[in-house]
Structure 1
Amino acid sequence: MKRSAIALAVMLFLGIGPALAQNPVEITSDQFVMNETAHEAVFTGNVVVVHPTVTVWAPKVVATYGEGGTTDIETFIASGGNVRLKTKDQDATGDQAVYTPGDQLMRLTGNVTVVNASGTVNATELVVNMATGVSTFTSAGGGRVTGVFTSQ
């Protein structure tokens, strides 16, 4: 039961719909703690989450869930700096990634860099609305969003 809840949390974080729930998700880490009192599952130390469409690396991954139990995921957080999300078409890095199923928003913050075949974008924050497919890059502290794009 708990293992499938973690797989669901990972799939929600990665924007993978229930139709793909049968795909295997492999999570490795130095330590895994399931704290039912705090309603959280915590992976720490060299965490690697592998799904057929995306791989996530982070020092720490925490899934919190509500009163509905482990299928009621409230947040999925990859943190500790050096957070990386890699798909077939792009590679994104930042200090922290947070997915909240309630609003279907994925936020990658802190030294964000996204690289794909058409170029590179750097920003302070990337917000991806999983429901609409809209990605918004922003910058803070007087900085600017920068991009270098190449023609194909």
Structure 2
Amino acid sequence: MSTPAVLLGVDIVAADRLAKAAERGGETFDRVMGGGGPTFSVKESFIKAVGGRPPGFTWHDFQETGNAPSGWAGRLLDEAAAELITSTGLALPGRAVFTVSGASRKAALVRLPPHEGLVSGAARWGHGSGLFVSLAIVFVRRKGNQ
């Protein structure tokens, strides 16, 4: 079995900057982001993982579907998170699994080797010291592999 290919993205943003964006975006920001700052930062880390906002992008390209990644994806995410925790000094207690759809799914498939399966994502995040920090991975979940 070959090693799965993974895309990685990190977002570190000042909390006051997110507060200003929420003020400017108002109801639209709240409706699209739901969870506020952490959600925005997590979705930004996914955008970085897939290589930017492709034509046709929407914030709904990344939707949370579960609590924690399992198998190799969970181990990889935890290993990468350990390095980010060390470098920022912040815990990353938030964790979830995401679907990657729409234009972002297409962008991810351009960067990943050809595989059949569901394009998935997993993220860890946390905040403190005036920062939001998030880490995301994007991968193809093949049947029988998690």
Q: TM-score, normalised by structure 1?
A: 0.30
Q: Which has the higher contact order (CA 8 A, sep 6+)?
A: 2
Q: Select the structure that is richer in helix.
A: 2
Q: Select the structure that is richer in strand.
A: 1
Q: TM-score, normalised by structure 2?
A: 0.31
